[in-house]
Chain A
Amino acid sequence: MHSMNHPVTLFVQCLVDALYPEVGEAVVRIFQKLGIPIECPTAQTCCGQPAFNTGYRKEARSAAKRFIEIFEGAERIVCPSGSCVHMVRHHYADLFADDPEWARRAKEIGARTYELSEYLVDVLGVEDLGAAYHGKITYHDSCHLLRGLGIAEQPRRLIRHVRGAELIEMKDSERCCGFGGAFSFKYPDISAAILDDKVKNIVATGADLVVGCDMSCLMSIQGRLSRIGSSIAVLHIAQLLAG
């Protein structure tokens, strides 16, 4: 079956589910626009990354097993977060290092789990979704997306095809935004200092919109922009592309 006819299963990311449901809806609209059937298991919650990154592996394993049970029947899993895909694709292996049976199941799921921009560009070969945005956009490379999954060019291609949009690269786009999960509230001053560099680089582009592929970084950037009273908007790439 050609990829364009292949149904996808939405792995929504807990942060999107709870705080940014509009991002999940944008992903759904993108696949509807492409005429690709989309499923969404309603029992899903979280892949386990927050626990894993803080060291709570037993708890992360428990979440991961549930994730595997829920998504095991899905053929193509798409997620609007590079960080969560990195977790499923790469860290599940560490999590089940001592458990060959679960490790096998995790590996199989990992191979079928894609980040949204990666799925659109690499699997579907779609770069132009017919979206329009009139203004200047700058793009933030999220760390796990960039260094974990090697995704840098795909989102940029998608943005370049947006009508009326001008992509302006920020300085040090590949540098961390300072979020780091629990790091952001456990070491707030260090986190904010790193974030401020990011915000400074965003502002310097003159863009009126920051786009990224991970709501976690974007939530932090948006939270700082809001605090300093900036008018720069923040959107997940799905929202930009869904139009």
Chain B
Amino acid sequence: MSEIRTEYYRDGARKAQQDPVLQSALAAAQSRIGGATAKAYMDFPEGPGLRLLGHDIRMKAIENLDILLETLVENIQKKGGHVHFAKDGREATEYCKEIALSRGVRRVVKGKSMVTEEIGLNSALMEEGIKVTETDLGEFIVQLAGEHPSHIIAPAVHKTRREIGKLFSEKLGIPYTTDPPTLTQAARKALREEFLSADMGISGCNLACAETGHITTVSNEGNIRMATTLPKIHVVFMGMERIVARLEDHDILLRLLATGAAAQKMAVYVSYIGGPRTPGQQDGPEEFHLIILDNGRSRILADEEFREILCCIRCAACLNVCPVYGKIGGHAYGHTYCGPIGAVLTPLLVGVNRAKDLCMGETLCGACQAACPVNIDIPRMLLSLRAKLADGDPQWSVTRSSLMEKAFYMAWAGMVRDRRMYELALRAVSGAQKLLPRREGWVHRLPPPFHGWSIHRDMKPVSGKSFIRRWSETHGRRGEGGNEPR
């Protein structure tokens, strides 16, 4: 399992905010992709409503997951592929390790895969003395730097040309340059050597197709195609939810994926792979293994409230528009999945209490849902997670996050049901606030727990006379609630 650091959200966020290089990289990435995606949705021949159709297709697949997976497995086995279900990350890495060790694998090339990041596959293989090379350019950079991806599809979004130039000159021994084509060429050269000498290729799976028995990989660099066809063994890691029923569904979802990810009509390379090479075929691996990973997903599937999050096709469109992600970057979230999708998925995978800042640290602005190519209602699920933190939840082993806050809201609930008490409270606040420091009529410093507000902003004081009091004085206490029904 890759390291979980969700408890350090605030520290990570602070560090990110103090990093001017990261700040400008995030701003540039968001302004470049965020707006372009929204525009691209309008250009679908079917219109922007295609997103809703995509949602239906994904939801239907999630609701019929057992049947779809069974069909996929049968079809892949028919073609001579091996399939293994792994209940958690450990089982998945152990299975992969076993294949590698029993076949004497020394070198592995990888296509970009967040699910292998989730289970910490690289370090598990490297502990066995196996060399693992990431072949997606961004992942390659992040791996050379000894870091983790900070974005689901643009893993090195936090790094500048200068940093990459320095990194390449140190690790690849090329003269320092910040010229992107030269740097890309250097990576390409290093990677070609890896591709040609690798004994095993590992990839993720963007979306499997049950009826044809294929997994698909999507990339813009062509690296996954090389990683999955050159080595003798191809191992695929697939999150158990990444499947749809039919090829027609792929037509729609792969377009939605490319649009959500990069405002593209279609990704540059899409490969359908369904097993090892057959006699007479020139290319392809001799062995094909599909590892289907649960790792907490069936628990999500079992809960109607959160099932919808499994519709995600990992395009990262939500990251590109999220105001919070735009300020804190991906590492602050402390786990593989960051941004709005991570704010829902990570707590469900690693524990709601330990990821409570991910659930609470969002503005609920809804930009994520609007940007999502399959229209996932992320704000709804963030609210559901908050409800679990507020009152605890045995099903998800969540304990109440703050007794003080609970007491506050209980008192509040009593007050809002009784205008007279409410009015007294308003007057009490209005009186008490006279003690607070002011400047030109604005409160300059607020007491805890609201003091965060006044670090950066002034506060309008509570009015000496509420609107309702003013109204009552001029109109009398009439209207629906005038009799104070209890």
Residue in chain B with minimal CB distance to A221? B457
Assess the B380–A94 pair: CB atoms within 8 A: yes
B456 interface residue (CB < 8 Å to A):
yes
Stretch at the interface among A55-63, A100-108, A202-210: A55-63
Interface residues of B in 440-464 (CB under 8 A from A): 440, 442, 446, 449-453, 455-463
Interface residues of B in 353-382 (CB under 8 A from A): 360-367, 369-370, 380
Partner of A70, one of B422, B463, B480: B480
State A220–B383 Cα separation when bound (angstroms): 22
Assess the A25–B17 pair: CB atoms within 8 A: no
Interface residues of B in 387-422 (CB under 8 A from A): 387-391, 405-406, 409-410, 412-413, 415-417, 419, 422
Stretch at the interface among B43-51, B165-173, B208-216, B465-473: B465-473
Assess the A185–B450 pair: CB atoms within 8 A: yes
Q: Which of B383, B468, B482, B485 has the most CB of A within 10 A?
A: B468
Residue in chain A with minimal CB distance to B475? A40
Residue in chain A with minimal CB distance to B441? A226
A147 interface residue (CB < 8 Å to B):
yes
Stretch at the interface among A115-123, A132-140, A157-165, A186-194: A186-194
Assess the B460–A19 pair: CB atoms within 8 A: yes
Assess the B456–A188 pair: CB atoms within 8 A: yes
Interface residues of B in 323-338 (CB under 8 A from A): 323-324, 326-328
Which residues of B lie under 8 Å from residue A19 when comparing CB positions?
460-463
Partner of B477, one of A42, A45, A53, A175: A42
Nearest Cβ on chain A to B176's Cβ, whole angstroms? 33
Assess the B453–A42 pair: CB atoms within 8 A: no
Assess the B370–A147 pair: CB atoms within 8 A: yes
B145 interface residue (CB < 8 Å to A):
no
A36 interface residue (CB < 8 Å to B):
no
Q: Which of B409, B419, B446, B475 has the most CB of A within 10 A?
A: B409
Interface string of A33-73 (1 = CB under 8 A from B): 00000011111111010111111111100110010011111
Interface string of A161-202 (1 = CB under 8 A from B): 000000000000011101111111111111111110100000
Assess the A18–B457 pair: CB atoms within 8 A: no
Which residues of B lie under 8 Å from residue A174 when comparing CB positions?
367
State A184–B362 Cα separation when bound (angstroms): 10
B280 interface residue (CB < 8 Å to A):
no
State A87–B410 Cα separation when bound (angstroms): 20
Nearest Cβ on chain A to B289's Cβ, whole angstroms? 43
Chain A residues bordering chain B, tally (CB within 8 A)? 75
A17 interface residue (CB < 8 Å to B):
yes
Assess the A66–B416 pair: CB atoms within 8 A: yes
Q: Which of A91, A192, A224 has the most CB of B within 10 A?
A: A192
Residue in chain A with minimal CB distance to B485? A69
Interface residues of B in 219-263 (CB under 8 A from A): none
Interface residues of A in 66-82 (CB under 8 A from B): 66, 69-74
Q: Given that A223-B459, A227-B457 are known contacts, is A190 also in contact with B452, CB under 8 Å in the complex?
A: no
Which residues of B lie under 8 Å from residue A184 when comparing CB positions?
452-453
Residue in chain B with minimal CB distance to A218? B460
Partner of B456, one of A69, A147, A192: A192
B484 interface residue (CB < 8 Å to A):
yes
Assess the A227–B456 pair: CB atoms within 8 A: yes
Nearest Cβ on chain B to A91's Cβ, whole angstroms? 8
Which residues of A lie under 8 Å from residue B412 when comparing CB positions?
50-51, 59
Assess the B383–A147 pair: CB atoms within 8 A: no
Nearest Cβ on chain B to A210's Cβ, whole angstroms? 14
Chain B residues bordering chain A, tally (CB within 8 A)? 75
Assess the B457–A192 pair: CB atoms within 8 A: yes
Nearest Cβ on chain B to A38's Cβ, whole angstroms? 9
State A189–B480 Cα separation when bound (angstroms): 42
Assess the A51–B409 pair: CB atoms within 8 A: yes
Partner of B482, one of A23, A41, A54: A41
Q: Given that A18-B466, A190-B13 are known contacts, is A59 also in contact with B323, CB under 8 Å in the complex?
A: no
Interface residues of A in 134-150 (CB under 8 A from B): 143-144, 147-148
Nearest Cβ on chain B to A152's Cβ, whole angstroms? 12
Which residues of B lie under 8 Å from residue A18 when comparing CB positions?
426, 429, 462-463, 466-467
B14 interface residue (CB < 8 Å to A):
yes
A232 interface residue (CB < 8 Å to B):
no
State A168–B362 Cα separation when bound (angstroms): 29
B20 interface residue (CB < 8 Å to A):
no
Which residues of A lie under 8 Å from residue B472 when comparing CB positions?
42
State A97–B476 Cα separation when bound (angstroms): 37
Which residues of A lie under 8 Å from residue B416 when comparing CB positions?
45-46, 48, 62-63, 66
Which residues of A lie under 8 Å from residue B386 when comparing CB positions?
53-55
State A94–B366 Cα separation when bound (angstroms): 16
State A19–B385 Cα separation when bound (angstroms): 30
Residue in chain B with minimal CB distance to A148? B366
Assess the B480–A71 pair: CB atoms within 8 A: yes
Interface string of A207-221 (1 = CB under 8 A from B): 000000000000110
Which residues of A lie under 8 Å from residue B477 when comparing CB positions?
42
Assess the A222–B468 pair: CB atoms within 8 A: no
Residue in chain B with minimal CB distance to A142? B365
Assess the B419–A45 pair: CB atoms within 8 A: yes
List, sorted by A's number, 28 A–B pairs whose CB atoms are closer than 8 Å.
Answer: A12-B468, A16-B467, A17-B467, A18-B466, A19-B460, A19-B463, A20-B460, A21-B470, A24-B470, A42-B477, A43-B481, A51-B409, A57-B390, A59-B409, A59-B410, A59-B412, A62-B413, A71-B480, A91-B383, A94-B380, A184-B453, A186-B452, A190-B17, A190-B324, A191-B456, A192-B455, A223-B442, A224-B456
Interfacial residues, chain A to chain B (CB-CB below 8 A) = 9, 12, 16-21, 23-25, 28, 39-46, 48, 50-59, 62-63, 66, 69-74, 91, 94, 143-144, 147-148, 174-176, 178-195, 197, 219-220, 222-224, 226-227
Supplied contacts A19-B463, A41-B479, 11 more A-B pairs, CB within 8 Å: A42-B478, A44-B419, A53-B383, A54-B390, A55-B387, A63-B417, A69-B481, A147-B370, A190-B324, A194-B326, A227-B457
